[in-house]
């Protein structure tokens, strides 16, 4: 799973992240993998319950959901784990239903 592109305050950072995201998506496509793409607000809503959650809230919930002693550090690491958790929460149920032949 990857986070959708967003415009940041620093244009250079946005461009570099977009390049990295492109490489990830290309590599996954060439390997035949299906990639879930989620907006930052949707990731926060899935993990925290509120799309406007702050980074400390995301880190706290990641730690709670994974039973960690402390949130992953730095905060960007917690954000990355939150994307994976959101994919599990949002797509995991749909994939399980599809395997059982149920309609979403």
Whole-model pTM: value is 0.79
DSSP per-residue codes, 41-81: HHHHHHHTS-TT--HHHHHHHHHHHHT-SS--SSHHHHHHH
What is d(CA 23, CA 96) in angstroms, rounded to the nearest whole number?
28
pLDDT tens-place string over residues 48-85: 999 999 999 999 999 999 999 999 999 999 999 999 99
Whether residue 104 lies inside any domain: the answer is no
> Domain tally for the chain?
1
Asked whether residue 18 is assigned to any structural domain, the reply reads yes
Tokens of 83: 């994307």
Q: List pLDDT tens digits, range 3-38.
A: 887 767 788 988 888 899 999 999 999 999 888 899
* 78 domain-assigned: yes
Give the Cα-Cα-Cα angle 53, 56, 62 (nearest 5 degrees): 85
Is 94 part of any domain? yes
Q: Please give the residue range of the domain that contains residue 29.
A: 2-99
């Amino acid at each position: 799973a990857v986070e959708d592109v967003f415009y940041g305050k620093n244009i250079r950072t946005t461009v570099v992240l977009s390049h990295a995201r492109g490489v990830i998506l290309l590599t996954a496509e060439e390997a035949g993998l299906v990639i879930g793409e989620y907006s930052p607000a949707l990731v926060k809503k899935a993990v925290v319950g509120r799309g406007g959650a702050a980074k400390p809230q995301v880190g706290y919930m990641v730690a709670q959901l994974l039973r960690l002693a402390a949130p992953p550090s730095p905060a960007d690491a917690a954000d990355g784990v939150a994307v994976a958790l959101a994919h599990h929460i949002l797509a995991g149920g749909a994939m399980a239903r599809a395997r059982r032949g149920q309609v979403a």
